[in-house]
Amino acid sequence: MDACRAEAAYNTGFMDARTTLTTRARLFDWRFLAPRYWPIWLGLGLMKLMVALPFRWQLAIGGQAGRWLGKLARRRRRIAAINLELCFPDLSPTQRATLLEAHFAALGMGLFETALAWWAPDARLRGLARIEGAEHLEQAMARGKGVILLTGHFTTLELGARFMTLRQPFHAMYRPHKNRFYEIAQRHQREWRCKLPPLPRDDLRGLLRAFKRGRAVWYAPDQNLGARNSVFVPFFGVTACTITATSRLAALSGAAVVPYFPKRLPGATGYEVVILPALADFPSADVEADTRRINQLLEQHVRQAPEQYLWVHRRFKTQPPGKSSPYQP
């Protein structure tokens, strides 16, 4: 499939097997058969095999693997411990230690959930999730100006997004992975499952074009990407360098901002995905106030299942001038 046909398929909004042919060709490039890529091939193969296991087994094995890896990944463990201490100062050291263990178990489960998101058939996934508030997304889409599907970096991120595709195809706005092979594999799976091609976070023209066509775009603005195009606003009472793109994109496009939050239910009983009404009076004339509002909304939902949030990310790395990073030795 040449570039013109790929662009035509994208412009008309249809996604079928032909649309991902170029990505597949890159995925099976002979250069990726080099020994340095073998660990990724092995990892992808194991992930695909995971899908065949019973769901309860997947979560049990994933949880145990996550706890084990948490002992080995000392740097990430230290980052998560610092984050929990900053964000939950009212908890005792014992309570935070318990939460830290639960978090690494959730990360392990997230690996199995990613496998489900990439390879499980729709019929299997429909029985795992309870989606609440789908009418809010339908109402926002009916406006015809596009929708920003706002969420956070939870350990259920991939599977939660896949559940959303059962209701609404969308573009996923994302940061490309540094490893070229993994980036292509990840893009291929997301493109195939989300029904529309993912968009790099710096592709402003592509984003605005998608909104103009009335499409939905997945977006999670809760990672530290540096001071550029960011403001310092609280997150769990801690100063956090937070990107302002949600407010600015909504202002440029007129797209509605519809928050949604996935949550793993206890006892391997499945998942809950809550879709909230589109944010009212958003964006406002105050970008900083808008960004603070998003952080407050995200914090509210993180607190419902704190172990399922991505605490291994250096969320508070960038600080205002004169204030040091909490992750320094």
Q: What is the pLDDT of residues 149-183, one digit of tens each?
A: 999 999 999 999 999 999 899 988 877 777 777 77
Burial 257-268 (b: 16+ CB within 10 A, else e): bbbbbbbbeeeb
Report the SS3 class of residue 311: coil
Closest alpha carbon to 49 in 142, 112, 105, 126 = 112
246 in Cβ contact with 221 (< 8 Å): yes
Lowest-confidence segment of 101-105, 174-178, 191-195, 318-322 by average pLDDT: 191-195
Looking at residue 278, its pLDDT comes to 98
Handedness of CA 132, 148, 167, 50 (dihedral sign): negative
Looking at residue 26, its pLDDT comes to 56
Looking at residue 19, its pLDDT comes to 38
Looking at residue 194, its pLDDT comes to 63
Both structure tokens of 20:
């991902």
Looking at residue 250, its pLDDT comes to 96
290 in Cβ contact with 244 (< 8 Å): yes
Q: Does residue 287 have a pLDDT over 90?
A: yes
255 in Cβ contact with 137 (< 8 Å): no
User: What crossing angle do the helices spanning 93-119 and 55-72 adopt, rounded to 10°?
Assistant: 130
Q: How many CA atoms lie within 13 A of 153 on its CB side?
A: 14
Closest alpha carbon to 117 in 220, 186, 40 = 186
Looking at residue 27, its pLDDT comes to 53
d(CA 132, CA 272) in angstroms, rounded, equals: 8
Looking at residue 181, its pLDDT comes to 72
User: What crossing angle do the helices spanning 38-50 and 93-119 adopt, rounded to 10°?
Assistant: 90
235 in Cβ contact with 310 (< 8 Å): no
- Per-residue pLDDT of 3-31, as tens digits, reads 333 333 333 333 333 334 344 445 556 77
CATH number given to 3-31+121-308: 3.40.1130
d(CA 31, CA 35) in angstroms, rounded, equals: 10
231 in Cβ contact with 203 (< 8 Å): no
Looking at residue 28, its pLDDT comes to 59
- Per-residue pLDDT of 34-88, as tens digits, reads 788 778 788 888 888 999 999 999 999 999 999 999 999 999 999 999 999 999 9
Please compute the mean of the pLDDT values over residues 296-311 and round it to a whole number: 98
Please compute the mean of the pLDDT values over residues 272-282 and round it to a whole number: 97
Domain boundaries, the chain: 3-31+121-308
Phi, psi dihedral angles at 137 (to 5 degrees): -70, -40
What is the percent of the chain with per-residue pLDDT over 70, rounded to a whole number?
A: 89
133 in Cβ contact with 275 (< 8 Å): yes
Looking at residue 185, its pLDDT comes to 74
d(CA 140, CA 36) in angstroms, rounded, equals: 46
259 in Cβ contact with 150 (< 8 Å): yes
Please compute the mean of the pLDDT values over residues 292-304 and round it to a whole number: 98
DSSP string, 286-302: -HHHHHHHHHHHHHHHH
